[in-house]
């Protein structure tokens, strides 16, 4: 008997419209997928938001400010004396070397230094014309000595007046009667007058020396020696050391031939060639800080003179510059400064402006925008551009005339990404 066919139930719903039953596994996959998508959206949203710029800040404060002009300089001996041959003749070899000490003397005595000896030649010394010239040199030397005597008397009179004024000011201890600047001026005036007296005394020694040399030359003419043993001893006009020997070997010299140079190494001053635009702000008596001279601590000096005439000098870059020589003198002679010699290199910083109480902002906080100075204030986590009127600066701090107040926080060296209103955060606060 044939088997009955098995009845099958056919679905009337197409396969593409059939609903897939939701299981736990498929639900978990959907949750993970949409969670990842949401997280990516959040990350992209925050990544597109502007980030705060990390900055360093400085504070506007009150304090002293001194503006300096810095330039290279060199030491030099204040009074230099070139010893020349007084007569024509055969000069002996100079045995002295640079650095040797010499002692001044008008005549040959124990201890006086004989620089060299000159044996005069007979033919010109016996000439009547040579005698007239020698007599004229004697008369000129006498006049020079008289002028030196008058100069030293004038210097001593000025010193007496300056010292008396300084004694009166020094003994006046009442507060407020005289400013510190005036006290320093009287003290400096007395010191300068004392140095002028010393310089005049040196000039008198030189005049006496020249007179003795001229008389000796005239004596050789009036009483010539035929034995060939007569000579003229050239003595040191001042005490000091030999700086340079111009003529060392034995040779025939004429009157006025430079033999050697003498100076006092303890009487040093500083010569600095400063740009003319800076020199106009420098006044005699200005404070000078001497650095890079070889010692551990800077030395103190004061401006003695600003020369009135400038000169042209070509810089290392080939630019022509007008420079002025500014002379300074040490205010105190310490044992360490004795190691300095003539023409030693130093670096001078001349004070041209000073204020005891100025509103100061770090120089790194200011920047140029056109012809104006600006800075950024740190205001509630954002940068605020402020127009500033700047005054003097020493390179580290700048005087503020308008635009900022004491205690304001400013951005130091702001990057190019900082604009007015940019969000900023202090670098010290970044974790």
C-alpha distances in angstroms, 294 versus 71, 78, 301? 16, 21, 16
Taking alpha carbons only, the member of 153, 139, 156, 148 closest to residue 204 is 148
CATH number where 336 lies: 2.40.30.170
Count of domains in the chain?
4
Say yes or no: 214 and 148 in one domain.
Answer: yes
Distance in angstroms (rounded) separating the CA atoms of residues 339 and 180: 32
Say yes or no: 289 and 347 in one domain.
Answer: yes
In a domain, 28, yes or no: no
- Per-residue pLDDT at 140: 83
Distance in angstroms (rounded) separating the CA atoms of residues 328 and 350: 9
Query: What angle, rounded to 10 degrees, do the helices at 180-222 and 128-171 form?
Result: 160
Say yes or no: 197 and 141 in one domain.
Answer: yes
SS3 of 259, please? strand
In a domain, 33, yes or no: no
- Per-residue pLDDT at 54: 85
- State the residue for tokens 């060392």: 248
Residues 293-314 as b/e (b if ≥16 CB within 10 A, e otherwise) read: beeeebbebbbbebeeebeeee
Say yes or no: 309 and 178 in one domain.
Answer: no
| Domain interval for residue 339 | 67-75+266-355
- Per-residue pLDDT at 1: 47
**How many other CB atoms are found less than 10 A from the CB of residue 114?**
15
- Last residue of a domain, which of 167, 191, 223? 223
Say yes or no: 351 and 283 in one domain.
Answer: yes
Say yes or no: 256 and 111 in one domain.
Answer: yes
Say yes or no: 247 and 276 in one domain.
Answer: no
Say yes or no: 306 and 364 in one domain.
Answer: no
- Per-residue pLDDT at 319: 92
In a domain, 46, yes or no: no
In a domain, 332, yes or no: yes
Say yes or no: 112 and 239 in one domain.
Answer: yes
In a domain, 333, yes or no: yes
- Last residue of a domain, which of 333, 355, 377? 355
Q: Mean pLDDT for each consecutive 10-residue tract of the chain (431 residues)?
A: 51 57 70 80 68 85 93 92 88 91 68 80 59 79 84 83 79 66 78 81 80 75 55 85 91 90 89 94 92 91 94 91 94 86 93 91 91 90 90 92 92 87 76 45
In a domain, 24, yes or no: no
In a domain, 113, yes or no: yes
In a domain, 292, yes or no: yes
- Per-residue pLDDT at 133: 76
Torsion of CA 349, 350, 355, 357, to 10 degrees: 20
Distance in angstroms (rounded) separating the CA atoms of residues 41 and 401: 51
> What pTM was computed for the model?
0.57
């Amino acid at each position: 008997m044939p088997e009955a066919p098995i009845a099958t139930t056919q679905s009337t719903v197409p396969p593409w419209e059939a609903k897939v039953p939701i299981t736990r596994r498929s639900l978990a996959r959907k949750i993970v997928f949409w969670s990842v998508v949401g997280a990516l959206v959040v990350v992209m949203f925050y990544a597109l938001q502007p980030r705060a710029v990390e900055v360093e800040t400085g504070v506007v404060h009150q304090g002293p400010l001194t503006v300096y002009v810095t330039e290279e300089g060199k030491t030099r001996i204040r009074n230099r004396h070139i010893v020349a041959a007084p007569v024509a003749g055969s000069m002996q070899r100079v045995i002295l070397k640079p650095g040797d000490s010499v002692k001044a003397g008008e005549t040959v005595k124990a201890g006086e230094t004989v620089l060299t000896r000159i044996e005069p030649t007979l033919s010109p010394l016996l000439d009547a014309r040579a005698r007239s010239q020698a007599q004229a040199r004697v008369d000129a030397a006498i006049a020079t000595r008289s002028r030196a005597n008058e100069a030293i008397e004038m210097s001593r009179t000025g010193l007496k007046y300056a010292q008396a004024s300084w004694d009166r000011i020094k003994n006046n201890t009442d507060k407020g009667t005289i400013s510190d600047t005036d006290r320093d001026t009287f003290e400096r005036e007395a010191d300068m007058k004392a140095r002028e007296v010393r310089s005049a005394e040196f000039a008198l020694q030189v005049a006496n020396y020249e007179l003795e040399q001229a008389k000796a030359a005239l004596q050789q003419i009036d009483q010539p020696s035929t034995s060939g043993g007569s000579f003229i001893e050239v003595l040191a006009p001042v005490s000091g050391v030999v700086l340079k020997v111009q003529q060392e070997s034995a040779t025939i010299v004429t009157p006025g031939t430079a033999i050697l140079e003498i100076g006092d190494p303890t009487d040093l001053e500083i010569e600095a060639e400063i740009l003319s635009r800076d020199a106009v702000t420098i006044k005699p008596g200005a404070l000078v800080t001497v650095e890079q001279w070889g010692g551990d601590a800077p030395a103190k000096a004061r401006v003695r003179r600003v020369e009135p005439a400038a000169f042209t000098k070509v810089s290392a870059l080939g630019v022509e510059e007008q420079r002025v020589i500014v002379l300074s003198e040490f205010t105190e002679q310490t044992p360490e400064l004795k190691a300095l010699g003539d023409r030693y290199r130093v670096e001078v910083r001349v004070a041209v402006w000073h204020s005891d109480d100025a509103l100061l902002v770090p120089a790194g906080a200011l920047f140029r925008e056109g012809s104006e100075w600006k800075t950024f204030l740190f205001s509630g986590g954002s940068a605020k551009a402020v127009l500033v009127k700047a005054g003097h600066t020493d390179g580290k701090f700048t005087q503020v005339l308008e635009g900022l107040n004491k205690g304001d926080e400013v951005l130091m060296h702001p990057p190019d990404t900082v604009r007015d209103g940019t969000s900023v955060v202090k670098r010290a606060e970044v974790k």
